[in-house]
Amino acid sequence: MLCPRIEIVDNERKSLVVGRDLAQLQQRLKQTKIEPAAESDSADWTRAAERWERFGLTDWTCGDLPERITVSEGPGLPVYAWPTVEFAEGVVNVRLFRNRDLARADSLTGVQRLVELAIQKDLAWLEKDLRALSRYDALYSPLGDSAELRETSLEHLKRHLLPTDLLPALTRAHFETAVAETRQRLPGLAPQFMDRLGLILQLRQQVQQRIGGGAVSALPRSRSLSSLSQLGSPATIRAANPLADELASLVSARFLERIAYDRLTHLPRYLKALLIRAERSALNPSKNQERLRQLAPYQDALKKLQAHPARSPEAQRLIEAFRWMIEEFKVSLFAQELGTAVPVSSKRLDQQLEIIRHKA
């Protein structure tokens, strides 16, 4: 389900509220005090917009944008505007914002789109290379079809390639640096990705065969990058073996939309840990139950955090880190011989949880 970004502006194009939940925006708008704009302010803003704003960009043809411009000065407080490169309704524009934080938040998607346009020939070659994914059609077939696998693979790699940080400044030089750095990540990417993916799908099949309980799918097949909550236990099609839920949380339909490229190297270890866990739980159920009791408080805490997805980007990153710390904790509990990527313990999980609660 797509959740478009909604911005409500006044007659002077001043941003009043921004978000993705219309009901919340309407409530916030009721509480927003709207001051009438002075006639001179309106005229000054119009002149500034005519000078700086551009629409329908396909390359960095807007010159170097200053961090802030002065719209007007007078007997009262000066009026400032913050230029940004936004991506809205399928096009890239240069817009003036009255709020610095909103301008910065919008600039990343605009820059990403311009970088994508700059490397579109490289991406076409990457898409052609991904045709070799057909070798994994049978392994992926319990989750989706070959077209879905190629589509989600390409989008997954684009998220890895495109800039994830704001440019130091909105200038042509910084943009060209971002393009060059993106191109540097392209050589050898497709075969490396396909090797990682093949191992993951093979291990997924082995775990599924070991635990039984029917097909592991059940996560909604959303076409947009979903929130962390979609990484949790599926709400439908419960399999007989509870480990099936954990398998689905790692590898399910369109799972490449919900995981970062750098995390793919860890998935095989998590899947191997599931295999070991399934074997050992049958041999020593009482010991398995003891370890499950150690794990349960953190899984419950994660579910509660996922139940309230509307939070700051920083809090989301902390929750995502907590989610993967739990996976590492599972390895330490059930398959210690595999090792963990980072030091992990109950104490470290408690500390991370405390940080999240302070940021939420």
* pLDDT tens per residue, range 140-181: 999 999 999 999 999 999 999 999 999 999 999 999 999 999
Burial of residue 145, with CB atoms counted within 10 A of its CB: 0-12 exposed, 13-18 middle, 19 or more buried: exposed
Residue at 295 is within a domain: no
The tokens for 112 are 């990403």
The rounded distance, in Å, linking the Cα atoms of 268 and 202 is 9
Residue at 216 is within a domain: no
pLDDT at position 226, please? 37
Q: What is the pTM of this model?
A: 0.78
| Cβ density class 264-296: b for 16+ within 10 Å, e for less | bebbbbbbbbbbebbeebeeeeeebeebbeebe
Boundaries of domain holding 49: 6-113
Residue at 178 is within a domain: no
The rounded distance, in Å, linking the Cα atoms of 51 and 54 is 9
Task: Inform me whether the pLDDT recorded for 37 exceeds 60.
Answer: no
Residue at 237 is within a domain: no
Kindly indicate the confidence band of residue 235, based on its pLDDT and cuts at 50, 70 and 90: very low
Domain count, the chain: 1
Q: Which sign does the torsion angle of CA 38, 40, 44, 50 carry?
A: positive
- Contacts for 339-344: CB closer than 8 Å, 24+ residues apart: 339/269, 341/266, 341/269
Average pLDDT over residues 324-333: 97
The tokens for 201 are 């799908």
Residue at 75 is within a domain: yes
Task: Inform me whether the pLDDT recorded for 285 exceeds 60.
Answer: yes
Residue at 57 is within a domain: yes
Residue at 89 is within a domain: yes
Q: Could you tell me the strand order of the sheet in which 79-88 lies?
A: 54-57, 91-97, 79-88, 69-72
Digit-coded pLDDT (tens) for 202-220: 999 999 999 985 444 434 4
Task: Inform me whether the pLDDT recorded for 1 exceeds 60.
Answer: no
Average pLDDT over residues 268-277: 97
Residue at 32 is within a domain: yes
Kindly indicate the confidence band of residue 238, based on its pLDDT and cuts at 50, 70 and 90: very low
Digit-coded pLDDT (tens) for 54-110: 999 999 999 999 999 999 987 768 899 999 999 999 999 999 999 998 898 889 999
Taking the CB of residue 299, how many other CB atoms lie within 10 A of it? 16
Per-chain mean pLDDT for the chain: 86
